Amino acid sequence: GETHGTHVISTIIGYNYYAPADAAAGYPLPPIFVEGIAPEATIIPVKVLTTYHFPCGTGPEGVTFGTDEMVAAGIYYATNLKLAGYTPMIITMSLGGPEPTDTIEDAVDYAISNGVIVIAAAGNAGDEGMDWPGAYPQVISAGAAGWGYEWYAPTASPPPRYRLWWLRDNTYGYRDIPEPTPASDVYITDFSGREKTGQQLDVVAPGSWVRGPFPGVPGYSHLPWWSEGLGWLVGRNPGNFYYAGGTSMATPHVTAVAAMMLEKDPTLTQAQVETIMKSTALPISPGSMMIYDISPIPDWYTKTWGSDATGAGLIQADAAVAAVP
């Protein structure tokens, strides 16, 4: 949809960013293009979830979900596009359910057997376990990691650091994130699905406070940045960009790295992509970290995780691409 799906895809292909509220506050941030991880990828949106409205109890926003058959139909559709010549093809699913189903697994197996790369979210149930289809061993699954200094500088104390910490560009005077990120700076989110018996978690990727396009209320403000309009400041729309967290946000990071790998070698199979990603990942040991977080209220929180939450570790885009023969 225009909310969740747009935010997810922006990680892959990038987006234009300009917030008049930042300019009004005096931040020296011009309109910029936030480059995606694989900006030359072609996105084929396949809608397999929809919003349902019931007579009672759900409110005006309704509830969004899909059936096994709807998800499977989307997988078959994308696979058949590959067979028709749209190749290479990656199916990325920032979705999942609490139980395995033959209907979806059969579709996944059909896709993989026809050379499609299938990637899915580990789910946001935390200790309750992973979601399916991400939990299937044959699917490349993505858990959600975070950066220990998301809201404050390593040498500072609260109040939190400047909220544009996510911009890794020192052109505007913001502290750059260390590259590569030391494993000691990485934590696993509480919500990221833990691996249970019969499930397989492959890698983790950034899934905490990922910034991206997301409509405000009542929707996107369509004023172009150069119009000098004040709709975002005095109108009813609070903005077009939001921080969002979830394994849904981690999944497109993994998908985009797979896309770059396929740009280098379009013949890579599912097993090869998974092996390379896992063998080049930055191992994350079980541990605990104090994190300054803004939710549910700004405060220090302890994040704790075990080996069931890390998979092979934090995906490393440069190493994964370099390892492609």
Digit-by-digit pLDDT tens for the chain (325 residues) are 568 999 999 999 999 888 777 777 777 777 888 889 999 999 999 999 877 666 555 555 567 778 999 999 999 999 999 999 999 999 999 999 999 999 999 999 999 999 999 999 999 999 999 999 999 999 999 999 998 888 876 566 655 666 777 875 554 444 445 555 688 889 999 999 999 999 999 999 999 999 999 887 767 766 666 666 666 677 666 678 889 999 999 999 999 999 999 999 999 999 999 999 999 999 999 999 998 888 888 888 999 999 999 999 999 999 999 999 9
The count of other CB atoms within 10 Å of the CB of residue 256 is 25
- Cα 141 to Cα 92: distance, rounded to the nearest angstrom: 10
- Cα 118 to Cα 254: distance, rounded to the nearest angstrom: 11
